[in-house]
Structure 1
Amino acid sequence: MKAEAEARVDTYWAEVFDVDVARIWEPGIHTTWARDPWPGVYVLVRPGVVRLRAPDRSRAELEPILQTVGGADALDVDRWQRVLGAFSPRILGPAIHSYRGDGLPVDGAGIEPVSGVEVLAFSREVGDAEFEESGLADASRMFGVRADGRLAAVSGLSDWMGQPSDIGVLTLPGLRGRGHGRRVAAAAVNDAIATAGIARWRSLAGNTASRSLARSLGFEDRGENIGIRLTL
């Protein structure tokens, strides 16, 4: 990843955890007690680094629990469910954040902008759960490719750090494995690079198809996380 893109990623995480950017990947386990209203715990892990973010207003209840976190279990969903059980945790993830800072060669033939109306119809074909996970519901710019006269795959860009650079992609179940998703995703990547200078890809750690596609497009992993919404 280019140095400029890498610096932007580090700046983003430093802002999330309210720490100087030079210290964001400092080895060890670190906790930020945030004053914003989000009611939960956010966990970020990279090799040798665990960062936790939790609401300062609930510090008395949460600090004894967070002090027990180790590097090996920071992303253990079952453990978090158990130790935070009194707060009715709703856990999102683990998810992996990956980035790319330069463009891709892409065959643009047949790739075209698509409207929100078309994407809404497309979402009904793939199902609500997959559509929500794809991130396309929040996309402001969308690209599609057709097969046999119908929309086969869609990619989109939603805002990250104030610019359209967060990639979402989805292919109709019966048309997967034919390269449609890769083509529209590459188009979105290039648009993000041209506009924002960086593209971000987020996917659940267990989504092997999305992870494989991100790797094939040359994205570099830069953090694995879970978000734990609590009743406080």
Structure 2
Amino acid sequence: MDVTTVDVMPEECIATIISFTSPREACRDSLVSRIFASAAGSDLVWERFLPPDYQQIISESVSSGSSASSSLNNLSKKDLYFHLCDNPILLGNGNRSFAIDKLSGKKCYMLGARELSIVWGDNPQYWRWISSAELPVLAQSRFSEVALLLDVCWLEIRDTPGGHDGRLPRKREDKWFEIEFGEFFSGQVGSLVEMHLLGTAGNWKSGLVVHGIELRPK
């Protein structure tokens, strides 16, 4: 496509073409020219990048029906996209969250510690449930509670929506450390995958703070 062709092409046509690319490409295209910038930032483009059921997901958020939920619907589609990338929304009883992967637009879900099966998790001798507000400001959780490991020799955390193979934790931008459990592919709708963190060596373990388990696209 040469410059003269772009000059005479309607902005809506350019936006339609860009909508078949990706969020990253749309941001790059916005640098080409003024008409590209306008087209690449249009609702037509970013509506396509949002998950098809994003409105339903927002309506099921903990803040559903509040001014916060209404304000999300009032954002431009581009602003909404990046808001959902950087500001996960809580769902259901507040122990699950939803966000968007910034590069692909695919869904990311996190299960809070209260949604997980933690062996001896309800025994105050081994685990303590603490408010996120008690954590350092830079390490606060999106969930109201996190699980603090006091002292166990058998560490077992699991959920069914995988196993830990010795990978080391890495520090994220939000100051939390994360451990990659593994990768899975499900070709059938409704199939179950068990995520399982297990540490059964004889030494005692303490100090771990469990935020949750996140499911996100590779």
Q: TM-score range by the shorter chain?
A: under 0.3
Calculate the TM-score normalised by the size of structure 2: 0.25
* Higher-helix-fraction structure: 1
Greater Cα radius of gyration, structure 1 or 2: 2
* Higher-strand-fraction structure: 1
